Chains A and B, each alone.
Chain A
């Protein structure tokens, strides 16, 4: 079921041709480690690892065979005493950065990570500057002619038509 990773939205909108998929389930009872602390670490790691053959789906959610293999691999490494960092390092060395759903902060992702902060900063500065400028340039008071014209219009307005 979950090979088609996306939502139904995807399913509906995606180009009709949808790959066949078989229902099995993500984490199966036989995979679960007896040590609850290790198991929790395994789950936390799994959420951030991409099922490489799926579309934008973590190995924790996916039922693909590859996802199962990766889940077992993560658990095997955990029981051997590897740290989270070592496991991620190992997986990146094998599969590339593509496996990480949370992209690392590196030269190729500077723009990605900086976007929200830089944009909000620029936006705030632009707003500050323009509001300063606006408050300096008070609109000129109405001329006598304008005042008269305005009074006349307002007077007309008051009278029922």
Chain B
């Protein structure tokens, strides 16, 4: 850290370091619960705490058996498969519809813009339990409750606000004269969209898609009500695992998911930088 100004009093110096200690403790609170499950997931015993062997770094205290359970147990594998069957389709639907709507919303003259925006953002605002309740009542009326498509549609609806928000954010910096120039040079609107507009908003679309994906992949309340046993997803399986018999396999699953979120975070950060560079907002 930088040197402190020489005129600082003892109290100011104490406060300067005291403040940093407080912040370090809060950061510890933020990150410790996530980090601690990773070593715990290698526990050779079925305990949720560090055994004596683990603390002594004895190799006998560590094992991969919880990961083995995750990768071979049909319950977990079925849940994983369902998650990967539902999330990509919901993401595709949310991204396609959301991107189109965001482009529409970014035009200069949109009638009832704020009302439309409020409706489109609403799935993000309404508490999940209420969305789940409403969808459960309504989807069971029309026979979608307990079906694959019911869950996909619900997840797509929950994911679209994120796509709208991220794509709209990229479109704010979009230079409209580019589309005019392209039209002037003889391109039709569709060519203009795919050759000029799309490459520039792609980072926003991709990060919106990632948000939509994680929304669906991580979602448990709606699927709990709307799904039937054959749509059991990974979060659902974790939820039942935590509520009924808590098994250490959950720690292995959680560690895998932490790894996934690190991957996701890195991708998003790279996209954000690329987008800012393309739009000339930051030097690099």
Partners in one complex: no
A: which residues have CB within 8 A of B?
none
B: which residues have CB within 8 A of A?
none
